[in-house]
Structure 1
Amino acid sequence: MSGRQARCRARDRNNVLNRPEFMSLNQPSRREQGTGEGRGSGGPRRSTFRQQSQQEDTGLRGGRDSSDGASAADGGAKDAPRLPEQDCMQLNPTFRGIAINSLLAIDLSLSKRLGVCVRPQGSGAPFRSMVLLLAFSGHALPWFIGTLICLWRSNTLAGQEVLVNLLLALILDLMTVAGMQKLVKRKGPWDFPPGFLDFVAMDMYSFPAAHASRAVMVSKFLLSHLVLAVPLRILLYLWAFLAGTSRVLLGKHHLSDVGCGFALGFLHYSLVESVWLDSATCQTLISIGTLRWAPLV
C-alpha cells in the first residue's frame, strides 16, 4: 500500500493540471470530493490544497473583474455622449410646457395651411405676383433708398427733419429685428433658405417678422407726420396689414412671427417719437453725412 501511494503522489506531482493556475480546470464535484476524502490519507490534503488555491484564484479574479468593471463604468460614464434636449422624452411635462407646445403646434399648422403662395403651381398661383409685390414693398432696401433720395432732393428744414428721423427709425428697426432673429434662430414653417434680398436686409430667420415690423412702424410714422385724406389713411393701414401677412402666404413666417412683428414695429415708432431729433441736430447729421460742416439752408 505504501508503494502504491508513493506512485500516486508522484503521478499527481507530475500532472500539469494539478498546478495552481490550472486547478479551475480540474475541479471535482462535491460528491467526488466526499468520496475522495475517504480514500487514503492523500485525499483530504489534496482537496484542502485545491480549495485554498480555488479561493485564491477566485479572489484574484473577483478583484480583477471589479477593478475592470469600475474602470469600464468610469470610462463609459465619461465617453457616453449626452443626447440633445430635443431627443429626450419628458415623462412629467409641466402644464406650461404642454400649453406652449400646443400653441406652437397650432401656429405651425395654421401657418402651413395659409402658405398658399409657396409654390408657383399652388392654389394661390394667380395671386402670387401680387403677394410678391406686397412683400417687396415691406422690404428694407426700397425704404432705405427712397428715404435717402427724398432727403437728397428735399429743400425744407421741416422735411429734412422728418426724413432724418425716419432714416434713424429704419436703422433702429433693422438692427433690432436682425439681433432678435440671430438670438432666437427660429426657422420658417417651410424652412426655405434665405434669398439674396433677405441677406441684404439681414432677414435670415423667422422670428420676428421684419416686414411686419417695418410696415407698422412706417405707416404709423407717415400717418403722424403727413397730412393725408381718409381714404389714403385707410389704404396705409391696409398696406401695413397685407405687407406683414404676405410673408405668411409665401411660407416665410409663422403667424406668431407676424403678430410679434406688428407689436415690435409699434414699439419702434413709440421709441423714435420719444427721442425725436430736432431740426438743428438733423442739420448737423446731414452736414456730417455729406461732408459739409455748414448747416443746410
Structure 2
Amino acid sequence: MLQRILRYDVQVTKTFVDLALKTSALRSLRNHAKFLEVSCHGIVWLAGWLSFIWFFNNKDLYQIQVNMLIALILDIVVIAVIKAFVRRRRPIPMNKLMAVGPDKYSFPSGHTSRAVMVAFILMYIDPVSIIFFPPLLAWTTAVAISRVLMERHYILDVLGGAGIGILEGLVMCLIWLSQGTSTSILSTLSDEKLDGGEYHV
C-alpha cells in the first residue's frame, strides 16, 4: 500500500510540474524558487536569528528571540532525524542544474516545515501586526510550492513538512518560555548583552 501511495505521489508531482510550467504565474514562481529556497534555509535562519539576538538588545524582544531560536533548533533536529529514518530519495529533476542540494533525502520538506512553523509562531503564539499576515502567508505558500516546482520534493514531502511545521508550532505553545526565563537565558549566554552585565557600557 505504501509503495502504491509513493508511486502515485511521483505521478501526481510530475503532472503538477508539467502543468505548472505551462501556467505563467507558476512558471514565474519557479524562476524565483532559488531566492525562496535561500529565504527559508535552515543555516540562513539560524545564523540570521543569532545575529538578530546579538545586535538588537531590546527587552521587549527577548522572549521571541529565545523562543524562536529554540523552535529553529527543534525544526532542524526533527527534520534531520525523520529524513535519516525515512530515507526517501529526492526526485530526479528534468533540469540537471537543479539537482544540487544539501542532502539526498526528500521526506519531509524542511523548508516547508520551517516556513509553516515560523508563520504559526508569528501569527498565533506571538502574533505580529495583522497587516503582516497576508505577506507571511504568501511567503509560506510560495516556499512550499517552489519546493515542488524546483523538483527538490514530491507533493507528499511538502504536505508532510507542513504537518510537521504545525506540530512543532503546537509543541512551542506548550514549552513557550516566559519573559523572565528568556531574559535569564540571554543573561547566562552573554553577560555583555544585558543591562547590568559586567561589561555593559
* TM-score exceeds 0.5: yes
Corresponding residue number in structure 1 for 2:129: 228
Q: Is the 8 A contact 1:194 1:204 kept in 2?
A: no
TM superposition score normalised by structure 2 = 0.81
The residue aligned with 1:190 is: 92
- In the alignment, which of 258, 261, 264 is matched to residue 158 of structure 2? 258
Distance change >3 Å, CA 295–CA 130, structure 1 → 2: closer
Could you tell me whether the CA contact under 8 Å between 1:186 and 1:206 is conserved in 2?
yes
Alignment of 1:68-79 (within 5 A): none
Post-superposition offset of 1:151? 1.1
Instruction: Identify the residue that residue 194 of structure 2 maps to in structure 1.
Output: 296
* Partner Cα separation in structure 1 for residue 3 and residue 163 of structure 2: 22
Taking a change above 3 Å as real, the CA distance of residues 127 and 169 of structure 1, as seen in their structure-2 partners, is closer
Contact 1:181 1:204 in 2 (8 A): no
Q: Which has the higher contact order (CA 8 A, sep 6+)?
A: 2
Cα distance in 2 for residues equivalent to 1:272 and 1:147: 17
Corresponding residue for residue 199 of structure 2: none
Write out aligned runs for 1:193-208 (5 A). 194-195=100-101, 198=102, 203-208=103-108
Q: Does 1:145 align with 2:145?
A: no
Distance 2:15 2:34 in 1: 18
Residue pair 1:154, 1:160 contacting (<8 A) in 2 also: no
CA distance in 2, matches of 1:125, 1:161: 40
SS of 1:155's equivalent?
Answer: coil
> Judging changes above 3 Å, is the alpha-carbon distance between structure 1 residues 151 and 113 closer, same or farther for their aligned structure 2 residues?
same
Shift of 1:193: 5.6
Partner SS state of residue 32, structure 2? helix
Aligned mates of 2:49, 2:64 — CA distance in 1? 10
List aligned pairs for 1:77-116, cutoff 5 A. Answer: 97=1, 100-115=2-17
Task: Flag the structure with larger Rg.
Answer: 1
Uncovered stretches (5+) of structure 1, i.e. residues with no partner: 1-96, 117-123
**Residue type of the alignment partner of 1:277:** L
- 8 A contact 2:54–2:193 mirrored in 1: no
Tell me the equivalent position of 2:23: none
- Structure 2 counterpart of 1:147, which letter? W
The alignment's TM-score, normalised by the length of structure 1, stands at: 0.56
Question: Which residue does the alignment assign to 2:111?
Answer: 211
Q: Deviations over 1:153-182 (max 9, x none)?
A: 223223011111000000000000001001
C-alpha distance in structure 2 between counterparts of 1:179 and 1:128, whole Å? 29
Q: Partners of 2:34 and 2:166 in 1: how far apart?
A: 24
Counterpart contact for 1:112–1:190, Cα < 8 Å:
no
- Which residue of 181, 184, 187 corresponds with 1:287? 187
Q: Which of the residues 61, 65, 79 maps onto 1:163?
A: 65
Instruction: State the 1:108 CA deviation.
Output: 0.3
Distance (whole Å) between structure 1 residues aligned to residue 81 and residue 178 of structure 2: 28
- Kept in 1, the 8 Å contact 2:30–2:146? The answer is no
Of stretches 124-133 and 217-226 in structure 1, the one that deviates more from structure 2 is 124-133
Give the alignment's Cα RMSD to 1 decimal.
2.5
Distance of 1:185 and 1:171 partners within structure 2:
21
Cα displacement (A) at 1:295: 8.1
For 1:176 and 1:227, the matched residues in 2 are separated by 26
**Identity percentage over the alignment?**
31
The DSSP-based 3-state class of the residue aligned with 1:173 is helix
Structure 2 stretches lacking a partner, 5+ long: 19-25, 196-201
Q: Is the Cα–Cα contact under 8 Å of residues 210 and 261 in structure 1 kept in the other structure? A: yes
Deviation at 1:288, TM superposition (A): 3.1
